[in-house]
């Protein structure tokens, strides 16, 4: 077995990390930035924090701030045109997963124009050239797009989200600065934190997991068990740990893959517009339950991370139940919805949701191979 691991060239962590953007740009010979972001981050002053750094170093920039949550194909295509008009030679993806993913799509298409339709990038696309260099600057603590080789796009016409997996899109430098995640409202901290927890748990039980990915993802599960609830209540130190936790499991899941929670969350986003982390939070404990007989001894580690006393000594089936219960309890405590009916799903949506989930690129990473009927029943159990 040969394992491939792809990481950023360089990454900075800590309050004030964005100050390093200018040094990195200048040392790489870049002359103009194209900042991909969204209107909320312009409004709340986050974009100014980054442009202040560029201004101080005399680095010019253009701002593209049109990105919508669950970004559509058109956001990328429009961005490609703006990038070409700007004369920039590097990209800054500044935001949650939506601006950062849009930034990756722009960088890939500028370097590989034969994929200008965007849709042909679905799955593992055969691009030949690395993206225009990207600096990844997260403002949420969940997707870890700043260190992954993935981006997620919404095919609006067909009401579906698809994942593009492409080593050519990885940001060359990441700047994980908790000063930028402090401003997240409570609900966004909950949703993105549950996304990070889902990345960690799915990447621990996927068949591709191995010692290095386990080291990263298990550490993340411990960090999230200890810090997510505190962060949501406004504890800034806990928020800082959540920013790092998101990144650390990103290094893992980006390389070993995810599973059925993501496979089933994507159609909820594509068809019903449900926020990605909220969808994951609804699905995580039920899918853990579905997978428990296919998880070997891994749920012992997960239970231990959540403080279950007999995690390594108790009967395996009992400990598996305790791991699922701990995740379900955290989700309830955080106030995330627990039913898909709470986020707008109706019985008539279920066949199309199950169809898309069965064909999602993340689904084969699940340790238990689910049929379309089983996926349908899982969704139905959450009505
Ligand atoms: N690339 C990957 O590897 C990967 C992995 C998981 C999910 N995703 C995708 O990422 C997207 C979700 O990203 P997300 O959950 O980070 O949210 P997001 O980027 O969609 O942002 C959600 C909302 O929060 C606002 N926001 C972001 N940061 C803020 C801050 N610091 N303060 C106040 N408001 C802030 C945004 O302006 C936006 O309105 C989905 O499309 C999902 O499928 C990508
Ligand atoms: Fe995710």
List pLDDT tens digits, range 74-88. 999 999 999 999 999
pLDDT value of position 159: 84
Q: Is residue 142 part of a domain?
A: yes
Same domain, 310 and 175: no
154 CA: nearest ligand 1 atom: 41
CATH number at residue 50: 3.40.50.1970
Domain boundary among the residues 155, 180, 205 is at 180
Who contacts 215 (Cβ-Cβ below 8 Å, separation ≥6)?
none
CB atoms within 10 A of CB 29: 8
Q: What's the 289 CA to ligand 1 centre distance in angstroms? A: 27
pLDDT value of position 97: 96
Whether the CB-CB separation of 117 and 164 falls below 8 Å is answered with no
What is the per-residue pLDDT across 254-293, written as a single tens digit (0 to 9) for each? 999 999 999 999 999 999 999 999 999 999 999 999 999 9
Residue-level length of the chain: 383
Residues with CB under 6 A from ligand 1: 38, 40-41, 44, 69-70, 95-99, 101, 139-140, 142-143, 145, 148, 150-152, 180-181, 183-184, 188, 192, 195, 269, 276-277
Q: Is residue 4 part of a domain?
A: no
Q: Is residue 1 part of a domain?
A: no
Same domain, 215 and 112: no
Q: How far apart are the first and last CA of the chain?
A: 41
Who contacts 369 (Cβ-Cβ below 8 Å, separation ≥6)?
none
Q: Is residue 2 part of a domain?
A: no
User: Average of pLDDT values for 346-354?
Assistant: 98
Q: What's the 254 CA to ligand 2 centre distance in angstroms? A: 10
Same domain, 50 and 133: yes
Record the tokens describing residue 155, joined without a space: 């095919």
Helix (H) / strand (E) containing 41 = helix 39-43
Q: Percentage of residues in the chain with pLDDT exceeding 90?
A: 98
Q: How far apart are CA 257 and CA 166, in angstroms?
A: 13
Q: Please provide residue 152's backbone torsions phi and psi, each rounded to the nearest 5 degrees.
A: -120, 130
Q: How far apart are CA 224 and CA 241, in angstroms?
A: 8
The domain total for the chain is: 2
Same domain, 155 and 201: no
User: Which of 97, 137, 190 maximizes ligand 1 atoms within 8 Å of its Cβ, making it the mutation to test the pocket?
Assistant: 97
Same domain, 112 and 215: no
pLDDT at 161 over 90: no
Q: Whole-number mean pLDDT of the chain?
A: 97
151 CA: nearest ligand 1 atom: 1
- Cβ-based burial of 352 (10 A; exposed 0-12, middle 13-18, buried ≥19): middle
Same domain, 197 and 344: yes
Q: How far apart are CA 6 and CA 144, in angstroms?
A: 14
pLDDT value of position 129: 98
Same domain, 147 and 218: no
Same domain, 193 and 173: no
Q: Is residue 33 part of a domain?
A: yes
Q: What's the 248 CA to ligand 1 centre distance in angstroms? A: 17
Q: How far apart are CA 153 and CA 163, in angstroms?
A: 6
Q: 């593009």: which residue's tokens?
A: 164
Q: How far apart are CA 383 and CA 338, in angstroms?
A: 9
Q: Is residue 307 part of a domain?
A: yes
Q: 């404990």: which residue's tokens?
A: 285
Tell me how many degrees the CA angle 60-62-65 measures, rounded to the nearest 5. 145
Q: Is residue 5 part of a domain?
A: no
Q: Please provide residue 127's backbone torsions phi and psi, each rounded to the nearest 5 degrees.
A: -75, 150
Same domain, 279 and 207: yes
Q: Percentage of residues in the chain with pLDDT exceeding 70?
A: 100
Whether the CB-CB separation of 118 and 164 falls below 8 Å is answered with no
Around 232, how many Cα atoms within 13 Å sit in the side-chain half-sphere? 20
Q: How far apart are CA 236 and CA 179, in angstroms?
A: 9
DSSP H helical segments within 257-336, as ranges?
A: 260-272, 276-291, 298-305, 316-334
Residue range(s) defining the domain that contains residue 226: 186-381
DSSP H helical segments within the chain, as ranges?
A: 20-27, 39-43, 46-57, 73-86, 97-111, 186-205, 211-232, 236-256, 260-272, 276-291, 298-305, 316-334, 350-359, 372-381
């Amino acid at each position: 077995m040969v394992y491939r691991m792809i990481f950023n060239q360089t990454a900075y962590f800590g309050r004030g990390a964005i100050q390093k953007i200018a040094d990195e740009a200048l040392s790489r010979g870049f002359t103009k930035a194209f900042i991909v972001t969204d209107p909320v981050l312009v409004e709340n002053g986050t974009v100014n924090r980054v442009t202040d750094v560029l201004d101080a170093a005399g680095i010019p920039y253009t701002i593209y701030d049109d990105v919508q949550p669950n970004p559509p194909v058109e956001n990328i295509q429009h961005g490609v045109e703006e990038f070409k008009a700007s004369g920039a030679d590097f990209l800054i993806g500044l935001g949650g997963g939506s601006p950062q993913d849009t930034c990756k799509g722009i960088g890939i298409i500028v370097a590989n124009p034969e994929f200008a339709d965007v849709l042909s990038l679905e799955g593992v696309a055969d691009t030949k050239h690395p993206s225009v260099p990207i600096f990844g600057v997260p403002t949420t603590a969940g997707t870890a797009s700043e260190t992954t080789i993935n981006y997620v796009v919404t095919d609006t016409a067909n009401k579906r989200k698809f994942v593009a997996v492409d080593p050519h899109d990885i940001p060359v430098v990441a700047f994980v600065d908790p000063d930028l995640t402090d401003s997240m409202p409570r609900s966004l901290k909950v949703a993105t934190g549950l996304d990070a927890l889902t990345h960690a748990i799915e990447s621990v039980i996927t068949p591709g997991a191995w010692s290095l990915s386990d080291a990263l993802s298990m550490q993340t599960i411990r960090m999230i068990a200890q810090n997510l609830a505190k962060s949501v209540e406004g504890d800034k130190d806990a928020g800082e740990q959540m920013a790092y936790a998101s990144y650390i499991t990103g290094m893992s899941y980006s390389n070993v893959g995810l599973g059925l929670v993501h496979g089933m969350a994507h159609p909820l986003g594509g068809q019903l517009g449900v926020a990605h982390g909220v969808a994951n939070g609804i699905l995580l404990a039920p899918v853990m339950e579905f997978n428990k007989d296919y998880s070997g001894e891994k749920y012992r580690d997960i239970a231990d991370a959540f403080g279950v006393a007999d995690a390594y000594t108790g009967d395996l089936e009992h400990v598996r139940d305790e791991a699922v219960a701990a995740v379900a309890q955290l989700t309830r405590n955080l106030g995330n919805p627990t039913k898909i009916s709470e986020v707008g799903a109706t019985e008539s949506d279920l066949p199309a949701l199950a169809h898309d989930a069965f064909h999602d690129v993340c689904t084969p990473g699940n340790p238990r191979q689910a049929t379309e009927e089983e996926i349908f029943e899982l969704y139905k159990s959450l009505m």
